[in-house]
Amino acid sequence: MRHRLKRILDDRIINSLRGNRIMQSLLPLPQEFHIERLRGGGFNRVIGITVIHSTEESERVVLRVPRFFYSHIDREVAILRYVGMRTSIPVAEVKAFDLTRNNPLNQPYVIQSRIPGYDLQHSGPGLFSGLTHAQQCTVAKELGRILQTLQGATNPAPRRIEASDNDPQSFVVRPFEVNTNPFESSNPDLDDMSLASSPPAYETTLDFFLSQFERLKTAALKHHDELQWAYMDRFADVASQMKDLGILRDNQHYLCHLDLASAPRNIMVDIQTDSTLRISGILDWDDAVFAPKFVGCVPPFWLWTCASEEASDEKNANETPPGFEQQELKQIFEKAVGQEFCNYMYNPQYRLARKLFQWALHGLNSSWAMEEADDFLEEWSTMQIPGMPRIRPPLNDLEDDEASSEEELAQESEDF
């Protein structure tokens, strides 16, 4: 039923576009156009449009229509314009957008240039495992350069790129929002700091972590979620210990994609010959943020394992691949990003710090996330130096308290 409804909605958009009045209102006077349904994402429907301006001139664009009413089109536009203006990374150019429903589609939309080529994950000519070794080597080198370029854009504090309130055509850098109910994804009820006109001031990376976890603790109390509060309290303690161990020593913050190194679907390649290609563009910038450097140093080990699926576990990223070609891909990428990046990428302490950053942004919004948090706290306890207090999962402490209570009751019964 859900897939059938999705198809109906997609067909409605496409049929609306076929009316010449609709197209002329969205794009400046096309003489002819062709429409193509493209693979969409979890948050947007995507329609390909080839606009024919004359017999010799055509332009390929993409129409993105959000699936949900709470989507942030203004944020998408702001990030694309920021990256396009401040870096040399190839991204789509925003051609037109409307944040309202006062248009022929009756929905918000963005029209942007269509990046040529294929993504590296889905079946087709661009599937990474189907490329020649020479082409894969080019991907490894160019991806490394792109990740280094990202770290050339900095900000004094962790922030999110958003559209300006006064001019949606321009962008600003703002503090993160905190949803006071992380289990509710629609119409978020933001905390007071998210709505405040004066942003919080962070002098250090530790200040950011402690501030975020304090905000999330306040949100948990608002919804009487004592377990969420306890996890945020543990995470704040971990952040303090990370600072003591020198993990949070860099107080500068860098532009991070957050869904690039682990997701080859967001990398577009233009295949030129059997031995050459180029990365033609990077997709899905919706969640890009300024964050500590280690956050952007996720190992893209699908490069040297030839796996096209998203990688979900970084623990084995630094293992030597079995084949010579895979070893070469790993070495090419490591050379492109440099030694500092590799240290952030492979050191297990920074792997846990990346996870901690994700929870500082979003909290825990599912039971499996809490199970993951328990594993995180258990693993962190193995990295502590002697003398550091062990930080245990909240439920472990609760079980110990219950066991102690039962023992006390048993002892009282015996004494009686």
pLDDT number for residue 29: 56
Helices marked H in 151-223: 192-195, 205-222
CA 404 to chain centre: 43
Q: What is the pLDDT along the chain (416 residues), one digit of tens a residue?
A: 344 434 545 556 666 665 555 565 555 555 677 778 777 666 788 888 887 766 667 788 888 888 876 677 888 889 999 999 999 999 999 988 888 888 878 888 999 999 999 889 876 776 888 899 999 999 999 999 999 999 999 998 898 888 877 776 777 888 887 866 655 555 456 676 766 656 677 789 999 999 999 999 988 888 889 999 999 999 999 999 999 999 998 888 999 998 887 778 899 999 988 778 999 999 989 889 999 999 999 999 889 985 544 445 788 888 898 899 999 999 999 999 999 999 999 999 999 999 999 999 989 988 889 999 999 999 999 998 888 999 999 987 655 554 455 455 555 555 55
Q: For residue 40, which phi and psi values (nearest 5 degrees)?
A: -90, 175
Bridge partner residues of 35 (DSSP): 49
* Distance of alpha carbon 248 from alpha carbon 358, whole angstroms: 15
CA 9 to chain centre: 27
Sequence-ordered list of residues with C-beta below 8 angstroms from that of 405, at least 6 positions apart, any chain? none
Answer left, alpha or beta for residue 123, where phi above 0 means left and psi between -120 and 50 means alpha: beta
Side chain identity, residue 199 = P
- Closest by CA position to 94, among listed 82, 86, 105, 106: 82
* Distance of alpha carbon 285 from alpha carbon 283, whole angstroms: 6
pLDDT number for residue 182: 58
pLDDT number for residue 5: 38
Q: Would you call 415 exposed, middle or buried from its count of C-beta atoms within 10 A (0-12, 13-18, 19+)?
A: exposed
Decide if 135 contacts 276 (C-beta within 8 A): yes
* Distance of alpha carbon 16 from alpha carbon 20, whole angstroms: 9
pLDDT number for residue 380: 96
Give helix 205-222 / helix 348-362 axis angle, nearest 10°.
40
Q: Would you call 309 exposed, middle or buried from its count of C-beta atoms within 10 A (0-12, 13-18, 19+)?
A: exposed
Bridge partner residues of 269 (DSSP): 118, 279
pTM of the model: 0.84
| Helix (H) or strand (E) run with residue 6 in it | helix 2-17
* Distance of alpha carbon 185 from alpha carbon 42, whole angstroms: 13
The neighbour count for residue 214, using CB atoms within 10 Å, is: 15
3-state secondary structure 336-386: HHCHHHHHHHHCHHHHHHHHHHHHHHHCCCCHHHHHHHHHHHHHHHCCCCC
Total count of residues recorded for the chain: 416
